[in-house]
Amino acid sequence: MFGQSHRGTLVWLVIVGLALALTLVAGNVPTLVGAGLLLAYLVLVAAIARGVDIGTLVEALPQRRAPALEPSEVAREAMARARSHPRYDAVVRLLDIGLIVDEPRPDGLALRRGRFISLDDDGIRPFATIYVPESLANRVGRVRFELRDESGKPQYIYEADKWLQPGENAILPDYRLPIRRNQQGTLQPGAWTVHFEVDGGMLGIHSFSLTPSLAMRRRQMAADGELRERVWRSEDEEDVSLPLSLEELLRQQSRQRREG
């Protein structure tokens, strides 16, 4: 605006000066504020008189940054486990990680975010939310999920190229790990983990439990006369039935993280 017309700049300065004078004369502005406004106006006039590019000057002023997104408690746990990994990457920041569980119900399948999975559940799918800095954004990155059983053997691998934009990115595989109808039939209960990588760098290791099916527990009761294992379901935000799509679930988790 300032560089288009010298006459227009002078007219603009006169208008601003008159408006400032009227404001100060009215006496509604505190003395210190008025003095600051007058000083800023004089600095602006001096800068224009010396031919300083005002647009460049404005761009050089400190810009207010958006508040940094904080990782969820689950993400902090996953990052803590991953720090001992030789390929741990702290540049791309993990904001959230977990599992979407397809839980069979009499009226169909219900989606929930879960950390306690039963062999009676229909299937599971990992997800993650990451923060990508400007210097590493606007490019294609290679993401990888692994679901490993208690022995460390991978039972599910998802690897794909994803476009990484600056800021928050939701990563969601397009297929799941079948549980109840798993064709291999080798899924064993125990402490499992989700390993998540971006471009070969380990971002997080998330732990979850795979518990025996109802049929397996009944067989244990028949053999031992008592139930040897109790299945726990947490009372927090995980393991709660959510009649949402996968995308809606991720948006809800992101919104809750911002509000928290």
Specify the pLDDT at position 68: 65
- Indicate if the pLDDT at residue 163 is higher than 50: yes
Strands (E), the chain: 93-105, 108-113, 116-118, 123-132, 139-148, 154-164, 167-171, 177-178, 190-198, 201-211, 240-242
- More confident position, 196 or 105: 196
> Residue 58 and residue 143: Cα distance in Å, rounded?
39
- Nearest Cα to Cα of residue 182 among 119, 127, 126: 119
Which has more confidence, 67 or 171?
Answer: 171
Interacting residues of 195 by C-beta distance below 8 A, sequence separation 6+: 144, 145, 146, 148, 202, 204, 205
14 has a pLDDT exceeding 80: no
Per-residue confidence at 1, pLDDT binned at 50, 70, 90?
very low
More confident position, 229 or 253: 253
**Tens of pLDDT, residues 197-252:** 999 999 999 999 999 887 777 776 655 555 444 444 444 445 554 444 555 666 66
| pLDDT exceeds cutoff 90 at 257 | no
Instruction: Quote the pLDDT of residue 214.
Output: 78
Collapsing DSSP to helix, strand or coil, 109 comes out as: strand
Distance CA 145, CA 165 (A): 19
Which helix (DSSP H) or strand (DSSP E) does residue 14 occupy? helix 6-26
pLDDT (0 to 100) of residue 104: 80
For the segment 214-224, what is each residue's pLDDT rounded down to a tens digit?
777 777 665 55
Judge whether residue 42 has pLDDT over 50: yes
Contact 147, 177 (CB under 8 A): yes
Q: Is 73-259 a domain of CATH 2.60.40.1930?
A: yes
Q: Which pLDDT score is estimated for 250?
A: 62
Per-residue pLDDT, 223: 58
With a pLDDT cut of 70, the percent of the chain lying above it is: 57
List the chain domain ranges.
Answer: 6-60, 73-259
